[in-house]
A and B are shown apart, each in its own frame.
Chain A
Amino acid sequence: MSSIPDDLHYTKEHEWISGIDDGLTLTVGITAYAAEALGDVVYVQVPEVGTAVSPGDAVGEVESTKSVSDIFAPVGGEIVEVNQAVVDDPSLVNSDSYGEGWLFRVRLEGDADDLLSAEEYTALTSGES
Chain B
Amino acid sequence: MRTVTLTKGVPDFREGQVSFDEDGHLERGDTPTVMNPNDEPALRASLQAKVRNGGTASVMSMGPPGYGDVLREAMESVYADDLYLLSDREMAAADTWATAITVATGIQNMDEEPDLVFAGFKTADGETGHTGPQTAWCLDWPLVTHVVALDVDTEAGTLRAKRLVEGDADEIETVEAPLPAFVVTDPEFEPSYRRAEHRLTHKDLREETRQRAGEHEDHMTVWDHSDLNLDPDFIGLDGSPTIVSGVDPIPKAPAERDATMVDPSDPEEMAGVVDEMSRFAGGD
Q: Do A and B come from the same complex? A: no
Residues on B facing A (Cβ under 8 Å): none
